């Protein structure tokens, strides 16, 4: 996984694995728009398993933990990776927020599209790729790149807006509480691990929250919070060179021994044994 040399970079079939790590949990270096024209892609995003096929798109959030499980041979794929700071400088009119904040606050971030809608997104991405790879010193090159990327942001914004308006009518009260809980955990699990804190955010009791989650997801609130911590721990162990002490501090444990106890309790093996799988 490489750091962007330019605030926008497009990865395709030829270099897709420079962006997507295979066989290990990891945080992408940058957020991105993933556009899959042909082929199949299966990956996990935190606790969610996502399957993409022909004419599908997804938003990649660099705060989430991803693990690529399957990718078909020779897919037609474009990934527009971008620096968060770049979107903050764009004069966009999306919910009066910068694009990064707008997209990361959405609960569902992958969609399959009708061919015509998908083709518009794909064609714009190809134009953007062409401009990025064209190293000429045209006076208007930067402006063209900025406008093509802004068009991609608006296209994804339209997809999310349409889906959100549609899904709001389909979500029950139980599902709404569940989705809000998952969103809250994704944002706060490092600082807050008490079920009561999450229940109070939605003005319900911790007992009611756990019972509802068990009914909808099959897991209690405590189990879901622990699963988020484990995903983050595995990403740090498999994809960084940080020491056990540093990882323990990043995950807000009191010391590395309490971290080791937690990890073994939830995985059946020590952090060191897990890490050794990924050493060459």
How many independent structural domains does the chain possess? 2
194 and 147 in a common domain: no
Pair 243, 161 in one domain: no
CA distance 59 to 196: 31
pTM, two decimal places: 0.83
Is the pLDDT score of 228 beyond 70? Answer: yes
Mean pLDDT along residues 16-20: 89
The DSSP letter of residue 36 is E
Instruction: Report pLDDT for 134.
Output: 81
Q: Mean pLDDT over residues 160-183, rounded?
A: 74
Task: Give me the pLDDT at residue 96, please.
Answer: 42
Q: Looking at the structure, do residues 183 and 205 belong to the same domain, yes or no?
A: yes
Q: Using DSSP, state whether 203 is helix, strand or coil.
A: coil
pLDDT over 70, % of the chain: 89
CA neighbours closer than 13 Å in the CB half-sphere of residue 120: 12
- 13 with 133, same domain: the answer is yes
Pair 69, 179 in one domain: no
At 97 the pLDDT is: 45
**Token pair 């042909």: residue:** 38
Nearest to 131 by CA among 157, 151, 113: 151
- Domain enclosing residue 256, as ranges: 173-276
- Backbone angles phi and psi of 83, in degrees to 5: -75, 135
**Does 113 map to a domain?**
yes
Confidence of residue 110 (pLDDT cuts 50, 70, 90): confident
Query: Could you tell me if 219 and 151 lie in one domain?
Result: no
| Banded model confidence at residue 89, pLDDT cuts 50, 70, 90 | confident
Query: Per residue in 33-50, pLDDT tens?
Result: 999 999 999 999 988 889
- State the helix-helix crossing angle for 206-217 and 221-239, rounded to 10 degrees: 70
Assess whether pLDDT exceeds 90 at residue 157. no
Average pLDDT, the chain: 87
* CATH number of the domain encompassing residue 268: 1.10.10.60
């Amino acid at each position: 996984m490489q750091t962007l040399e330019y605030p926008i970079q497009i990865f395709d079939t030829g270099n897709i694995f420079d962006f997507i790590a295979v066989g290990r949990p990891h945080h992408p270096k940058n957020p991105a728009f993933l556009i899959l024209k042909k082929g199949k892609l299966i990956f996990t995003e935190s606790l969610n398993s996502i399957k993409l096929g022909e004419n599908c798109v997804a938003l990649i959030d660099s705060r989430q933990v991803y693990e690529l499980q399957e990718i078909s041979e020779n897919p037609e794929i474009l990934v527009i990776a971008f620096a968060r700071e770049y979107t903050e400088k764009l004069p966009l009119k999306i919910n009066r927020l910068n694009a990064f904040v707008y997209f990361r606050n959405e609960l569902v971030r992958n969609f399959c599209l009708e061919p015509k809608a998908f083709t518009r997104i794909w064609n714009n991405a190809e134009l953007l790729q062409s401009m990025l790879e064209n190293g000429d010193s045209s006076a208007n090159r930067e402006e063209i790149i900025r406008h093509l990327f802004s068009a991609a942001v608006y296209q994804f914004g339209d997809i999310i807006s349409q889906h959100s308006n549609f899904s709001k009518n389909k979500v029950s009260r139980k599902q709404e509480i569940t989705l809000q809980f998952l969103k809250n955990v994704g944002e706060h699990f490092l600082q807050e691990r008490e079920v009561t804190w999450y229940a109070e955010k939605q003005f319900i009791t911790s007992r009611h929250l756990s019972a509802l989650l068990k009914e909808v997801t099959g897991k209690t609130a405590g189990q879901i919070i622990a699963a988020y911590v484990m995903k983050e721990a595995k990403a740090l162990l498999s994809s960084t060179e940080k020491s056990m002490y540093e990882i323990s501090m990043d995950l807000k444990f009191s010391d590395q021994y309490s971290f080791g106890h937690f990890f073994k309790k939830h995985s059946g093996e020590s952090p060191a044994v897990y890490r050794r799988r990924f050493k060459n």
